[in-house]
Amino acid sequence: MLKEFTKGIVKENPVFIMALGLCPTLAVTTSIENAIGMGGAATFVLLMSNVFISLLKNLIPSQVRIPAYIVVIASFVTIVDMVMHAYIPALHKSLGLFIPLIVVNCIILGRAEAFANKNNVGKSIMDGLGMGVGFTLALVLIAAIRELLGNGTLYGAPVMWESYRNSPMLMAILAPGAFVTMGLLMGLLNILNKKKS
Amino acid sequence: MMYYLKLALVLLIIAGVAAGILAFVNSKTAPIIVANKLANEIEARKKVMEGLNFSEDFDFVKKEVSIDKPAGKCNPLKIKEEKTGSTFLYYEVVGKDTGKVLGYTFMSAKSGYSSIVKTMVGVDTTYTINKIRVISQSETPGLGAKCQDEDFMAQFDKKNYDAMKVTKSKSEIETAILSITGATITTRTITESLNADLKTLAKVTAKGGE
């Protein structure tokens, strides 16, 4: 049971190993705050959709399973969107379009199709949580590097010296920085994995 | 035949339940969202009039004037989100005792680099800006998003209308607005939207005003 949880964090990390959900990964990792917000929202949707799809798996005919999954996922995403808009408007504003786009995040449909519709609720919960945590950690890691280099801060707190913060490495926080950071991290993880085996 | 009906029925039930749940959540959150937005605007409106020392307390009076602006190029501020075509919405700052107009506030909006930048502006009766507050934007974090920094917004204090120019280096010219590094578009958006709307404000208050 615990294995279903831990596999999402390192061995089958959705971002670094499975390379799923890269669009939001690249887009929202400009600050740690955004990364945590996005990770939290995606984890909630992942967990809830895994639970419901695992519960409904025997009721949904397999010919219409994909539209049924999408309806379930889209409902939870919309709930997250509305609740966030009402209670944490600042975060909602900075994540903007990427909240509704969780609907098409491959991790969520991927886990529904590959895991939740074959396994029981307990396992699906662990899988959803594990994948969500793995996704969040990956986002935070990338965001920490980009925020530190591109803005001189970590979670909004100034870290680098002042002259650096006045003219930081802007590329890190722009789109190319996202690709470079993620590529280097993926390569690094591959080296580590190879050494292990 | 029955089989296909069953498929459709299952989907219908799932979609129906989902719609019901969403309607419920929406009925709970929608009022809060509207209230938050209103509270933000009221607070910003008070903020942009700070520092102007009037001898009396003041109220905000909502004014809506139709202007001859081609639809589509209209100012998309509005408390209601609908496209009103060619009306210009502003608030008169009216003294509580004398009933005299002491200044104006309005919300200026223009689409910037990656979002619509909404700026609340407070001016006195000579259309000199008192303060501005960028109240809504989702420009690039670390670049355009710096338009919400106090240092940047303070540049607009006491600037006169229709005379602000964006520069990329520090200059001695009084009307210059120093561009945010790497976010000239955002800076220009705010400056241009203020210039245009101040011009409109001057026009409507001069001819149709009190």
B98 has a chain A CB within 8 A of its CB: no
Does the pLDDT at position B84 exceed 60?
no
User: How do residues A103-160 score in pLDDT, each as one tens digit?
Assistant: 988 899 999 999 999 999 999 999 999 999 999 999 999 999 999 998 888 988 888 8
Nearest Cα residue in chain B from A71: B15
Tell if the CB–CB gap between B115 and A96 is shorter than 8 Å.
yes
What is the mean predicted confidence (pLDDT) over A43-49? 95
Does the pLDDT at position B78 exceed 50?
no
pLDDT of B162: 64
Q: What is the mean pLDDT of chain B?
A: 81
**Closest chain B C-alpha to A75 CA, distance in angstroms:** 6
Considering only CB atoms, which chain A residues are within 8 Å of B29?
A: 82-83, 85-86
Single out the residue of B197, B189, B200 nearest to residue B166, CA to CA: B189
Considering only CB atoms, which chain B residues are within 8 Å of A48?
A: none
Looking at per-residue pLDDT, the higher value among A173 and A47 belongs to A47
Tell if the CB–CB gap between A168 and B138 is shorter than 8 Å.
no
Q: What is the mean pLDDT of chain A?
A: 90
Query: Among residues of chain B, what percentage have pLDDT more than 70?
Result: 83
Residue A93 falls in which region: left (phi positive, over 0), alpha (psi -120 to 50) or beta = alpha
Does the pLDDT at position B48 exceed 90?
no
Distance CA A186, CA A189 (A): 5
Nearest Cα residue in chain A from B6: A61
- Domain boundary assignment for chain A: 2-196
Give residues with Cβ within 8 angstroms of B113, minimum separation 6.
B139, B140, B144, B183, B185, B186, B189
pLDDT of B208: 47
A85 has a chain B CB within 8 A of its CB: yes
pLDDT of A196: 83
ipTM over 0.90: no
User: How do residues B161-177 score in pLDDT, each as one tens digit?
Assistant: 666 778 887 766 777 88
Phi first, then psi, for residue A69 (nearest 5°) are -60, -45
Nearest Cα residue in chain A from B25: A79
Q: At what angle do helices B2-47 and A65-87 cross, to 10 degrees?
A: 20
A165 has a chain B CB within 8 A of its CB: no
A61 has a chain B CB within 8 A of its CB: yes
pLDDT of B172: 67
Tell if the CB–CB gap between B138 and A93 is shorter than 8 Å.
yes
User: How do residues B107-159 score in pLDDT, each as one tens digit?
Assistant: 888 888 888 899 999 988 888 888 898 888 878 766 788 888 888 888 888 88
